[in-house]
Structure 1
Amino acid sequence: MMRSNAYTLTRSTPHAIIDSTKLQGVWQSIARLRAHDPTFRQVVLTDLYLGYQEARELAVVLAGNRYVTRLDLSCNKIGPSGVQCLAPALASMKMLFDLDLSDNELGDQGTFELVSQLKGHFCLHRLNLSRNFIGSAGARALSDMIAQDSPLDTFIASNNRIGGDGALALAEALAKNEHLCSLDLSKNEIDSPAAAAFAAAVGNRGKHSLVILDLSDNRIDDGGALMLVEATAINPWFSYLNLGGNRIGREGFENIAAWLDQNKEVCLVLELGRG
């Protein structure tokens, strides 16, 4: 357990693999949080095998914090039970701007627990949930938050299992959101029907549009890729589209090249490699 005077980690994972300098950093961080240090704005506790018990105790010292703007708990083992304990505390951190919970085995249930608390958080602008085994159910929960036009401007959910149905829900939510600027859904088994939905959302968003979209390493074919290029290229606010590592064949590349050749005024950074 982490205590006020002698902080230790109780997980069964061998502590020998955790660098002593990192452990010292944990102790110092907890002490500063307990003391409500107003200068402690960025909390980084990564790759420490923090699990359910540690999440419970961390929630106690984070609850109601008015100073922390960035919290990085990536590469731990928090899981759905741990995030259920943490989520209310995170929601109470009114100055929290940047939250990284990537690589924490949250799954759909953990994602639901997190989103149910973070809905309506007026300060959170950046959220990273990469590598969390999020499937279509978790994606639908996330889409509810995005559809409410949350203040998020950067959302990263790469390396999950969102799939076509989950991506469709996110695309529909994106069409209702006027704040999101950067979206990374790479490596999520997203197919061309979902790509078409994203194309429709991006093409109809007006001035407050998405400017960066990463759909690399998915299952988008020639037709889906062309629809995305056309939709993003004609949006004057859009700047970067990554479709590398998809199922784009020679004909798809040729069609995209021909379209761009006919629309030379387009200003777009487009990545199509690794296909």
Structure 2
Amino acid sequence: MAWGGGNTNSVESWVKRLRDNDATFTSLHILSFRRVTSSELGQIFEALTHNAILKEFYASGHSFDETAAKILATALEHNTTLERLNIGSDHLGNNEAVVKLLSEGLSKNKGLLRLDLENKGFGGHHETSVQYLAQALEKNITLQELILARNKLTDQDVQVLCQTITQGNNRTLQKLDLCLNSFTEAGARSIATLLASQNQADAGGLKEIDLSDNEITEEGGRAIGQALESNKALQRLRMSSCMDPPLPVEEGVEDKIPFDDDIQTLNRPLTSEQEREIRMDGDTVLETIASALKSNSTLQELWMDYCNVSSIGAGYLADALRHNHSLITVRMRNNRIGNRGARALGAALTPTCSTSTDAQLGGDEGQSIEPTQASLSSSEGVAVTATKSYNATLRNLELGSNMVGVLGWHGLVGARSLESLGLYENQINVLHKALEEQQQINPPSSPSSVPSTTMSPTNAPPSSSSLSANIPNGASFNSQQALEKLIHLDVGCNGISREDYTQLGVCLIKGMLPSLIRLEIAGNGDRSREAPQHSSPGRNHDDDEGEDNQEDPDDEQDAWQRVTSRIEEARPNLVIHWKGAGAMQQG
């Protein structure tokens, strides 16, 4: 690899290595601050014509004229080994003649896999530069990835691209990045039409599309969701920050999710009036997507950060997860799902069984009996319903900054399939109680194998209102450990004190969260505690006897380090990122 950032890497040396087919010269990156003339770029383009070694060429930020563009077009026509290309300045799209020549070369190219045109000024040129690029896509037979982020693309630009892909013969394009542009609902509808047209399995089509940071609105989002009902190609859908931002909370008013702060309220369904108070525009979008997910069997990843999703939208997704067996990753950072939404998702991921009397099997309000479930009668007249359907394929769930509290965490601990759980910047300041209650419900089969510790756990028996047992629909856990497959847990910035961290350490040392190998817990702690003070000269320590606090409090960082060392000693495969504890609670 050569990086064009210094005098040792001259254009002449690059050209020579390209012409000589230097076997070690597989990548060339010319940094944007390096001065390269259009004529010098032309020399590099010419050397690429018959080169069979270089795999990637990045020269973003550098302008070139028509003369150099003609040479590049010829190089793209003949070169079959270059796979990744990023070329041009942020004004490339304004130069109609240069883009036309570049597109002619792309039309005939038979080797390029990835074309990165991020921030190249294509927006607003749907009759010229965007049209030329679309025509190249129609004829190109190898390109798999097209990056058009940060181009200020309009609805008309997106329509031209989507219509060409829909009506053309392109069957190779798999990834389309349209994030950070300027299209709205109309552009989203054009994309939806494209996705809906890709309804034949094994017939090609986009596998990944990024629509993030475009104001596609509620109606545009619904159109995308409806397209998923027929689409049989898309695997990754990213549409973060696509809704209008919520109104800011007035100064002095506590930002709080209503009907979300006690177990009795959470175990009752919302009334219609309460739903109207909570519902946001992202909920309607997620309702449409969730409906499609009940039959869609190709989508594997869904991103909806900053999309105005409340617990209502999370409930729609939870219901879809019970029927879906393809989704692997869900990312919904910076929404407002709260405890109710987290518990709904947890219930959909938790193997459960429920017991009820014969009279209850007809189905109480808020409860449902799956048609495929069998009811087994016991001699006491109590029916045991077979395991309720749940999702066993979702592996990654990101719920950072969602106003999830301890009650929401209690609802998530039974999720069997999760390998990564992100709960950064929520309000989960006590973690250990849910793990302890789950352990008491389902004690390990080999207690003798649990490592011993002198750190004192909380030994109080579970109360009759055990939070972990009261997940939605009256379900109770089966004999599985809490989050038994979890590899990565992020609980940074949750207001966790060192005492709570100590109790979590006890749980980890006892073998809870058995698969965990990475714990992110920075941004917690309490730096209001002062570091130990040295004794003043002449002070009589006998005067301290009888005082409430005979010892100065430990330094916060040292205390966290000691707990971390104990955990890592007992579990050497577990890496804990804790530095920065205290960031949430200053003085």
With structure 1 as the length reference, what TM-score do the two structures score? 0.82
Distance of 1:119 and 1:5 partners within structure 2: 40
- Any idea what SS the aligned residue of 2:408 has? helix
For residue 419 of structure 2, what is the aligned residue in structure 1?
211
Report whether the alignment pairs 1:93 with 2:342: no
Please state how far the C-alpha of 1:210 moved relative to its aligned partner: 1.2
Name the SS of the counterpart of 2:519 in structure 1: strand
Q: Is this contact kept in 1: 2:211–2:238, CA < 8 A?
A: yes
**What is the Cα-based RMSD across aligned positions, in Å?**
3.0
CA distance in structure 2 between the aligned counterparts of 1:262 and 1:57, rounded to whole angstroms: 55
How far off is 1:68 after superposition?
Answer: 1.2
User: CA–CA distance in 2 between the matches of 1:112 and 1:138?
Assistant: 6
Q: Which amino acid aligns with 2:223?
A: C
Partner of 1:50: 183
How far 1:197 sits from its partner (Å)? 1.2
Query: Matches of 1:260 and 1:4 in 2, distance apart?
Result: 58
What is the DSSP-based 3-state SS (H/G/I as helix, E as strand, rest coil) of the residue aligned with 1:195?
A: helix
Q: 1:262 to 1:184 in 2, by over 3 A?
A: same
Query: By how many angstroms is 1:36 displaced?
Result: 4.3
Q: Give the match for residue 184 of structure 1.
A: 398
Question: For the structure 1 residues 225 and 272, does the alpha-carbon distance in structure 2 shift closer, same or farther, using more than 3 Å as the test?
Answer: farther
User: Residues of 2 paired with 1:72 and 1:247: CA distance?
Assistant: 33
The residue aligned with 1:196 is 410
Structure 2 letter corresponding to 1:58: I
Partner of 2:508: 260
Q: 1:235 to 1:57 in 2, by over 3 A?
A: closer
> Is residue 150–residue 179 contact of structure 1 (8 Å, CA) maintained in 2?
yes
Q: 2:285 aligns with which of 90, 93, 110?
A: 110
Is the contact made by 2:206 and 2:234 (CA closer than 8 Å) also made in structure 1?
Answer: yes
In the other structure, the counterpart of 1:12 is none
Larger Rg: 2
Contact 1:149–1:178, Cα closer than 8 Å, also in 2: no
How far, CA to CA, are the matches of 2:303 and 2:497 in structure 1?
31
Deviation at 1:271, TM superposition (A): 1.3
Contact 2:295 2:324 in 1 (8 A): no
Counterpart in the other structure of 1:32: 165
Deviation digits for residues 34-66 of structure 1 (CA, Å, limit 9, x no counterpart): 314101111211111221122223323332214
> For residue 219 of structure 1, what is the amino acid of its counterpart?
Q
Q: Residue 241 of structure 1 aligns to which amino acid in structure 2?
A: L
Shift of 1:142: 0.9
Q: What is aligned with 2:217?
A: 79
**Deviations 1:114-168 (Å, cap 9, x if unpaired)?**
2223321011111111110101111111111112243101111111111111111
Q: Counterparts of 2:209 and 2:179 in 1: how far apart (Å)?
A: 10
Cα offset, 1:172, TM superposition: 0.7
Contact 2:300 2:329 in 1 (8 A): yes
Query: Could you say what secondary structure the match of 1:270 adopts?
Result: strand
Q: Which of 490, 494, 498 lines up with 1:242 in the alignment?
A: 490
For the residue of structure 2 that corresponds to 1:183, the secondary structure is strand
2:428 to 220, 236, 245: 220
Is this contact kept in 1: 2:300–2:328, CA < 8 A?
A: yes
Aligned counterpart in structure 2 of residue 148 of structure 1, from 323, 326, 348: 323
The one-letter code of the counterpart of 1:238 is L
CA contact (8 A) 2:318 2:345 kept: yes
Q: Distance in 2 between matches of 1:265 and 1:169?
A: 21
Change over 3 Å in CA distance of 1:39–1:5 after alignment to 2: farther
CA drift at 1:30: 4.9
Per the alignment, residue 272 of structure 1 pairs with 521
Q: Does 1:168 align with 2:343?
A: yes
How much does 1:5 deviate? Answer: 6.0
Find the residue that maps to 2:330 and give its secondary structure: strand
Q: CA deviation at 1:32?
A: 2.8
* 2:205 corresponds to which of 67, 84, 100: 67
Matches within 5 A, 1:133-144: 133-144=308-319
Which 5+ residue runs of structure 2 have no aligned equivalent?
1-123, 132-149, 199-203, 244-280, 351-389, 440-479, 525-587
Deviations 1:198-240 (A, max 9, x none): 11x23xx3xxx21111111111122x35535987986553211
Alignment check: 8 A CA contact 1:184 1:214 kept = yes
Alpha-carbon separation, structure 2, partners of 1:80 and 1:234: 37
Amino acid at match of 1:119: K
- CA offsets 1:151-192 (integer angstroms, 9 cap, x no match): 101111111111111111111111111100111111100011
TM-score (norm 2): 0.40
Identity between Structure 1 and Structure 2 (%): 27
Contact 1:121 1:150 survives alignment (8 Å)? no
- Equivalent pairs counted in the alignment come to 257
Judged with a 3 Å threshold, the aligned counterparts in structure 2 of structure 1 residues 263 and 55 are, in CA distance, closer, same or farther, namely closer
Write the deviation string for residues 10-44 of structure 1: whole angstroms up to 9, x where unpaired: xxxxxxxx637x67985556533431410111121
Gaps (5+ residues) in structure 1? 9-17
Cross-structure match for 1:15? none
- Work out which structure has the larger RCO, using CA pairs closer than 8 Å and 6 or more positions apart in sequence: 1
In 1, Cα distance between the equivalents of 2:292 and 2:485?
Answer: 32
* Aligned-partner residue type, residue 89 of structure 1: A
The secondary structure found in structure 1 opposite 2:289 is helix
What amino acid is the match of 2:214? N
Distance 1:225 1:255, change over 3 A: closer
